[in-house]
Amino acid sequence: MRVRRLAAWTALPLAVTLGLAACGSGGDGGSGGSGSEAVSIQIAEPQHLVPTNTTETSGSQVLAGLFAPLVDYDAQNKPYEVAAESVTSSDNKVWTIKLKDGFTFHNGEKVTSDDYINAWNYGAYAPNGQGGSYFFEKIAGYQDLQGEKPKAKEMSGLKKLDDLTFQVTLSEPYIDFKTMLGYNAFYPLPEAAFSAPGVLKDGYEQAPIGQGPFKMKGTWQHDSKIEVERYDAYPLEKPKVQSVEFRVYQQLTAAYADVLADNLDVLPTIPTENLSTAPTDLGDRYQTSPMSSFQFLAFPTFEKEYSNPDVRKAISMAIDRDEIVNSIFKKSQTSARSFVSPVLPGYRENTTGAAGEFNPTEAKKLYQAAGGPSKITISYNGDGGHKDWVDATCNQLKANLGVDCVGSAEPKFSDLLNKVEKKQPVGLFRLGWVMDYPSMEDYLGPLYSTNGSSNYYGYSNPEFDKLVKEGSAAPTQAEAIKKYQQAEDILAKDMPVIPLRFGENVFGHSSKVSNVEMDLFQRVNLVKIEAAS
Amino acid sequence: MFRYILRRLLQMVLAFFGTTLIVYALMFAGQTDPIQALAGERPVTAAQRAYLTEKYHLDQTGVGGFFYRYFDYVRSLLQGDLGQSLTGRQIGDILQQAWPVTVKLALIALAVAVIFGVTAGVIAGIRRASIFDNATLVLTLLVLGIPTIVLAPLAQYFLGVRWPVFPPTAGAEPSFYALLLPGIVLGSLSLATALRLTRTSVAENLRADYVRTARSKGLVKRRIVGIHVLRNSLIPVVTFLGVELGNLMSGAIITEGVFNIPGVGFNLFRGIRTEDGPLVVGFVSVLVVVYLVSNLLVDVLYAVLDPRIRYE
């Protein structure tokens, strides 16, 4: 008998607490109660918030609010000074960076050239394991900071001239160094960020102190949100909104539902699932803008059956890019017929020439004449939503070349890369590229030069390498671009990859904000955005 | 009773280490290149690779490497240190953040299942073959047939966006109200099962000898159903709900994703996707404890419901 009562009594308190909880929070009507001067932006959980360790979009978006870059990019994607007064060089090897006076960190510290030098040395020092360290490899003395036990802790190429001026010596002339400075790895760090010289304070990442238009409000709430508010001592154009909440979402579809319900203000990427309905759901709040991403199919050029450029050209001609862009991507991407992104200075349309035009009859003729393989495999990573377009491409190749074609999924991107690096037969494989800074060199160098960091397909052409090198050492931008374009012409002849599509920012916003602009790096412009009245 | 619980607790320790070993081995076997997985499609620099490899002992491969890493993990686990995730966060902190919201969600789902499932099941069991009984049969079949991956976005769209009754997502620090819709969605599957179980069990017990005896003694119907039948009928339901509590906590990956709740399911999913061994093992270890404890509770509850069951 006693036992039974016990059961009855435990059931009751449970019911009561649930009832009380319902009363307590019924009033506020859920999340997203933002004031008129606050906006919310979707991000994924950033991996890191240390400028030299941040290489993904979400972290970069938050840092863009907390820091001001040395240079930013204008409408033509050419660099102009922001935190820098001037960035000059007479020989493109020794660069003098003069800082604007009046910048202060959010803790009141004045920004000096030391803050840049310390931050860059920290980023380049290999034992710190910073993901953005490769940005500094062009600076003289970078090699001394590499290896398990580096020889030095500071790069010899960085020299302080006075409090607001410092000199950067590169190991060899590089015309695009100024363009490079817009990347977040080149932000300064305040003295307060370090616990000892060269040692970052433990909690710095939880509440980064920068010199940008916004400062942290509280700390980084992992998996939940990061809030920033306007920094009143910011010397340049001040933001229109009082505060920004970067809200962490795990799934874009959840964020999309929130934008529809006006619960979230900006969604920088509309999920693929909703692309077909988004224009009607959002009306003029559905927008697109240029972005730098580039999707292509790579050939294992080291394999005999794909070593003939004519085979590669024939396959390219047998693919109807526009059809795939329209039917699968609902025009959220555009067809690519060049080897570099259209957002770059120096971009030319149709550099692939005839090889980029869809021409099934010519393709078949060329393919048979060149003796292409009778079976084509296209490998892709199965976790990235590539199946649809790979299958569509395969069907086109089957129909237009009369060959057998299968799409083969590897579980993850790393699995695909492993196989490619071991030169296992994967057939053609998909790759993508997003630039770090708007320069043709940022495509030509890593993707196509012999030692390029992302040249997984073994393409090597000494003449091409020479032209890219000459371009980056050229005295003026115009001459550099000319060399780069000559290099691109070689690619059109050799066709080491098939350019397929260029990406676009496809974004949406709630009815509570206006003036939403996105930059080439998929980041919302935080200074321009306004709360709609 | 006390000795029984003590014995079960000791068994739990063994089970705990056994399962962590298996999970650790599985994660270890499935791992290809966690560093590349972390970087996504970006090339990884040599310096970064060397740094992470050393920090997480990723250079230790093969059987020897497995035991080295496993014992390293268990050693720090016994000191209360769950280690760091591959992004450098303390797994203890992640756990601390993820559990409360998942527990809340699971309790709401369980409450939904108990309150609606058991009540409707009892009514359907008493009025067998009535309209109510048939209607619940159709409804529960429908719910059992629709997977959460369809049900959750539908509920979100219709009740969150089209007719904004509930907020479409809950977020990291949700109010009770914001958690209600995900809770109902998550609980609906258990609700359907609990309902069917209760109905069958009640219907069966109503025909039992002791009920006829009670009736012929002249007991009122309310007392027969409320006390005698219900208690006997609840035993299978309690077993089911006990196991279900563990399921609700670990199996909420879809629901937590759709409603943006950064709980256990989401972290597990992320851990598996990025091949973050320590993160997955940390979460699974706690899940194992939850399962073991809820199973023990179920067994103890049997004795409460049915005095014939005695533990020594």
pLDDT tens, position by position, B70-103: 888 888 888 878 888 877 788 888 888 888 899 8
Inside any domain, residue A253 = no
> Model confidence at B147, in pLDDT bands (50, 70, 90)?
confident
With a cut of 80, say whether residue A12 has pLDDT above it: no
Which residue of chain A has the CA closest to B263?
A223
Type of residue at A402: G
Which residue of chain B has the CA closest to A381?
B41
CB B304 within 8 A of CB A3: yes
Which residue of chain B has the CA closest to A254?
B258
Inside any domain, residue A313 = yes
Structural Rg of chain A based on CA atoms? 26
**Considering only CB atoms, which chain A residues are within 8 Å of B47?**
126, 129-130, 133, 146
Output the pLDDT for position B250: 72
CB A310 within 8 A of CB A258: no
Q: How far is B17 from chain A (nearest CA, A)?
A: 29
Q: How far is A53 from chain B (nearest CA, A)?
A: 10
Q: How far is A268 from chain B (nearest CA, A)?
A: 17
> Model confidence at B251, in pLDDT bands (50, 70, 90)?
low
To the nearest 10 degrees (0 to 180), the angle between helices B277-305 and B62-78 is 60
Closest partner CB to A261 (pick from B108, B160, B273): B160
Cα angle A471, A477, A478 (rounded to 5 degrees) comes to 90
User: Do strands A225-230 and A243-248 pair parallel, antiparallel, or not at all (unpaired)?
Assistant: antiparallel
Closest partner CB to B47 (pick from A14, A126, A418): A126
Q: Do B171 and A221 touch (CB under 8 A)?
A: no
> Model confidence at A533, in pLDDT bands (50, 70, 90)?
low
**Considering only CB atoms, which chain B residues are within 8 Å of A261?**
160-161, 164, 167-168
Output the pLDDT for position A37: 82
With a cut of 50, say whether residue A17 has pLDDT above it: no
In percent, how much of chain A has pLDDT > 70?
A: 93
Q: Are residues A235 and A298 in the same domain?
A: no
Disruptive mutation site among A58, A250, A386 for chain B (greatest number of B CBs within 10 Å) = A250
Disruptive mutation site among B161, B264, B266, B306 for chain A (greatest number of A CBs within 10 Å) = B161
Closest by CA to A373, choosing from A431, A425, A432, is A425
Output the pLDDT for position B71: 83
Disruptive mutation site among A16, A20, A31 for chain B (greatest number of B CBs within 10 Å) = A31
> Model confidence at B312, in pLDDT bands (50, 70, 90)?
low
Q: Which two tokens stand for residue A372?
A: 């292409």
Q: Are residues A176 and A301 in the same domain?
A: no
Closest by CA to A135, choosing from A83, A92, A84, A170, is A170
Q: Are residues A446 and A320 in the same domain?
A: yes
Q: What are phi and psi of B156, to 5 degrees?
A: -65, -40
Residue A273's CB is within 10 A of a number of other CB atoms, namely 14
For chain B, say whether A194 makes contact (Cβ under 8 Å): no
Q: Are residues A427 and A499 in the same domain?
A: yes
Output the pLDDT for position B173: 81
Q: Are residues A498 and A519 in the same domain?
A: no
User: Do strands A375-381 and A286-298 pair parallel, antiparallel, or not at all (unpaired)?
Assistant: unpaired
Q: Are residues A327 and A473 in the same domain?
A: yes
Closest by CA to A349, choosing from A362, A339, A361, A359, is A339
Q: Do B111 and A18 touch (CB under 8 A)?
A: yes
Name the least confident of A60-69, A139-148, A524-533, B266-275. B266-275
How many angstroms separate the CA atoms of B117 and B140, rounded? 10
How many angstroms separate the CA atoms of A107 and A122, rounded? 20
With a cut of 70, say whether residue A406 has pLDDT above it: yes
| Domain containing residue A226 | 39-244+510-531
Which residue of chain B has the CA closest to A14?
B111
Q: Do B36 and A413 touch (CB under 8 A)?
A: yes
Type of residue at A478: A
Inside any domain, residue A28 = no
Type of residue at A35: G
Output the pLDDT for position A181: 95
Segment A368-376 mean pLDDT: 91
With a cut of 70, say whether residue A30 has pLDDT above it: no
Q: Are residues A433 and A526 in the same domain?
A: no
Closest by CA to A393, choosing from A377, A381, A409, is A377
Q: What is the pLDDT of residues B284-311, one digit of tens each?
A: 888 888 888 888 888 888 877 777 777 7
Closest partner CB to B169 (pick from A21, A22, A258): A258
CATH number for A357: 3.10.105.10
List, as one string, the DSSP characters of B142-168. HHHHS-HHHHHHHHHIIIIIIS-SS-S
How many angstroms separate the CA atoms of B237 and B235, rounded? 5
Q: Which two tokens stand for residue A148?
A: 């398990």
Q: What is the pLDDT of residues A114-154, one digit of tens each?
A: 999 999 999 999 889 888 888 999 999 999 998 888 999 99
How many angstroms separate the CA atoms of A216 and A206, rounded? 9
**Considering only CB atoms, which chain A residues are within 8 Å of B87?**
47-48
Q: Are residues A228 and A306 in the same domain?
A: no
Output the pLDDT for position A454: 84
Name the least confident of A300-304, A321-325, A364-368. A300-304
Q: Is A207 exposed, middle or buried (0-12, 13-18, 19+ CB in 10 A)?
A: middle
Output the pLDDT for position A490: 94
Q: Do A454 and B43 touch (CB under 8 A)?
A: yes
How many angstroms separate the CA atoms of A160 and A169, rounded? 11
Q: Looking at the domain B99-305, which fold is it?
A: MetI-like fold (1.10.3720)
Q: Do A6 and B304 touch (CB under 8 A)?
A: yes
- Separation of CA B146 from chain center: 19
Inside any domain, residue A270 = no
Name the least confident of A5-19, A187-201, A441-455, B257-271. A5-19
For chain B, say whether A349 makes contact (Cβ under 8 Å): no
Q: Do B171 and A247 touch (CB under 8 A)?
A: yes
Q: What is the pLDDT of residues A241-250, one digit of tens each?
A: 999 999 999 8
Residue A69's CB is within 10 A of a number of other CB atoms, namely 21
Put residue A515 in one of left, alpha, beta given phi > 0 → left and psi -120 to 50 → alpha: left
Q: What is the pLDDT of residues B182-200, one digit of tens each?
A: 999 999 888 999 999 999 9
How many angstroms separate the CA atoms of B119 and B113, rounded? 9
Output the pLDDT for position B23: 85
With a cut of 90, say whether residue A498 has pLDDT above it: yes
**Roughly how many angstroms between the first and final C-alpha of chain A, as a whole number?**
66
Q: What is the pLDDT of residues A233-275, one digit of tens each?
A: 999 999 999 999 999 998 889 999 999 999 999 999 998 888 8
**Residue located via tokens 């340049």:** A236
CB-based contacts of A168, cutoff 8 Å, min separation 6: A94, A95, A96, A97, A139, A157, A158, A159, A177
Domain ranges of chain B: 34-81, 99-305
**Considering only CB atoms, which chain A residues are within 8 Å of B157?**
257
- Residues 248-267 on A with a CB inside 8 Å of B are 248-251, 253-255, 257-258, 260-261, 263
Type of residue at A179: T
Q: Do B164 and A261 touch (CB under 8 A)?
A: yes
Q: Do B45 and A133 touch (CB under 8 A)?
A: yes
Type of residue at A501: R
Closest partner CB to B167 (pick from A31, A48, A133): A31
Helices (H), A296-434: 309-317, 321-327, 360-370, 387-401, 413-421
Segment A319-345 mean pLDDT: 91
Output the pLDDT for position A26: 32
Q: Do A412 and B32 touch (CB under 8 A)?
A: yes
Which residue of chain A has the CA closest to B158?
A257
Dihedral angle, C-alpha B285, B290, B291, B296, nearest 10 °: 130
Q: How far is A257 from chain B (nearest CA, A)?
A: 6
Q: Do A56 and B40 touch (CB under 8 A)?
A: yes
Dihedral angle, C-alpha A124, A129, A131, A134, nearest 10 °: 30
CATH number for A184: 3.40.190.10
Q: Are residues A389 and A445 in the same domain?
A: yes
How many angstroms separate the CA atoms of B180 and A517, rounded? 36
How many angstroms separate the CA atoms of A484 and A501, rounded? 21
A72 three-class SS: strand
User: Do strands A199-200 and A428-433 pair parallel, antiparallel, or not at all (unpaired)?
Assistant: unpaired
**Considering only CB atoms, which chain A residues are within 8 Å of B170?**
30-31
Q: What are phi and psi of A188, to 5 degrees?
A: -85, 160
Which residue of chain A has the CA closest to B34?
A414
Q: Do B36 and A260 touch (CB under 8 A)?
A: no
Which residue of chain A has the CA closest to B44?
A131
Q: Do B175 and A225 touch (CB under 8 A)?
A: no
Q: How far is B209 from chain A (nearest CA, A)?
A: 22
Output the pLDDT for position B237: 87
Q: How far is A224 from chain B (nearest CA, A)?
A: 5
With a cut of 90, say whether residue B278 has pLDDT above it: no
How many angstroms separate the CA atoms of B102 and B253, rounded? 10
List, as one string, the DSSP characters of A211-223. SSSEEESS--BTT
Mean of all residue pLDDT scores within chain A: 88
Domain tally for chain A? 2
Output the pLDDT for position B128: 86
Q: Which two tokens stand for residue A316?
A: 């390219």
Q: Are residues A470 and A515 in the same domain?
A: no
CB A418 within 8 A of CB A280: no
Q: What is the pLDDT of residues A437-490, one digit of tens each?
A: 999 999 999 899 998 888 888 899 999 999 999 999 999 999 999 999 999 999
Q: Are residues A312 and A367 in the same domain?
A: yes
Q: Is B12 exposed, middle or buried (0-12, 13-18, 19+ CB in 10 A)?
A: middle
With a cut of 60, say whether residue A34 has pLDDT above it: no
Q: How far is B268 from chain A (nearest CA, A)?
A: 12
Inside any domain, residue A13 = no
Q: Do B37 and A414 touch (CB under 8 A)?
A: yes
List, as one string, the DSSP characters of B194-253. HHHHHHHHHHHHHTSHHHHHHHHHT--HHHIIIIIIHHHHHHHHHHHHHHHHHHHHHS-H
> Which H or E run includes A334?
strand A333-335
Type of residue at A367: Y
For chain B, say whether A460 makes contact (Cβ under 8 Å): no
Output the pLDDT for position A417: 83
Q: Are residues A341 and A206 in the same domain?
A: no
How many angstroms separate the CA atoms of A495 and A299, rounded? 9
Output the pLDDT for position A5: 39
Output the pLDDT for position A464: 94
